[in-house]
Amino acid sequence: MTILETQELTHVFPDGTVAIRDINLKVKAGEFIVLAGANGSGKTVLARHLNGLLQPTKGRVLLHGEPVSKNPAAARRKVGLVFQDPDSQFVGQTVAEDVAFGPENLNLPPAQVERLVKEALAAVGLSQLSMQHPFALSGGEKRKLAVAGILAMKPEIIIFDEPFTGLDYPGVIQVLEVILRLHQAGRTIIVITHELEKILAHAGRLIILYQGKMVEDGTVEEVISRSEKYGVRMPLRKGEKIESLTWLK
């Protein structure tokens, strides 16, 4: 069942730069999609349209068949976006306070907010750090906190914008485990990255953007061999299987 769809989605910046052009994309419930592309290919702009943060110049985004532009607040609740730089996502001065920001914006009763915060922190394994300052966390923990902040709003789809940037090996593993756990729990996952080797073994679909256009869309096996044409490193050596790419033991 298609839950999220874009039709002829185009975004042109005020200076005339075309960020994305005629993107037609259908996302089915429970999918695990990797959205790849070189720097400036329009990945982040596309992601920000999917939950109504940006409004298209042309085309539209449909969530469960309803245009996102009609009710962007509802779209943001259902489509969670984890930002590339977690530092800019934090608004609280303790971990728990930051996670509570989303549910409080939904005007939920205080007891429910507290429950959602506890659940979200437990889901990412940060319960012990609930009173820490977000900036005192490690890189991996910061990403997990950013995920918890989104999880507390119970989204159906979670978009991760470059979740592995700047992380060391343990940080990558921590974030990867959280992403996989969320997918196993039934959430639809979209991971935006150009570091395919860290995630591809677990994805079902690979989409490549190039100069604002969606140039490839298919199973990982179908698309991967053509990735280098679009400035995305082909992570497989000759004879290697996609499953062998996993960073998990």
Cα–Cα dist 105/238, whole Å = 51
The single residue among 49, 77, 143, 205 that binds other proteins, judged by CB under 8 A, is 77
Is 109 a binding residue for other proteins by CB under 8 A? The answer is yes
Instruction: Return the number of the residue (89 or 174) whose C-beta is nearest other proteins.
Output: 89
Instruction: Return the number of the residue (83 or 164) whose C-beta is nearest other proteins.
Output: 83
Copy the structure tokens of residue 7.
């039709």
Minimum distance from residue 128 beta carbon to other proteins (Å): 14
Is 29 a binding residue for other proteins by CB under 8 A? The answer is no
Which among 78, 45, 32 is positioned nearest to 201, based on CA atoms? 32
Spatial contact of 182 and 158, defined as CB atoms under 8 Å apart: yes
Calculated CA dihedral for residues 155, 144, 42, 232, nearest 10 degrees:
-130
Minimum distance from residue 64 beta carbon to other proteins (Å): 17
Residues sharing a CB contact under 8 Å with residue 133, sequence separation 6 or more, in sequence order: 93, 94, 95
Element at 144 (helix H, strand E): helix 139-151
Cα–Cα dist 87/68, whole Å = 27
Instruction: Return the number of the residue (104 or 197) whose C-beta is nearest other proteins.
Output: 104
Is 115 a binding residue for other proteins by CB under 8 A? The answer is no
Is 87 a binding residue for other proteins by CB under 8 A? The answer is yes
Is 100 a binding residue for other proteins by CB under 8 A? The answer is yes
The Cβ of residue 143 has, within 10 Å, a number of other Cβ atoms equal to 28
Instruction: Return the number of the residue (48 or 198) whose C-beta is nearest other proteins.
Output: 48
**Residues 132-151 as x/- pattern, contact with other proteins by CB under 8 A:** xx-xx------------xx-
User: Rule CB under 8 A: which residues touch other proteins?
Assistant: 48, 51, 53, 73, 76-77, 80-81, 83, 85, 87-89, 91-94, 97, 100-110, 113, 131-133, 135-136, 149-150, 153
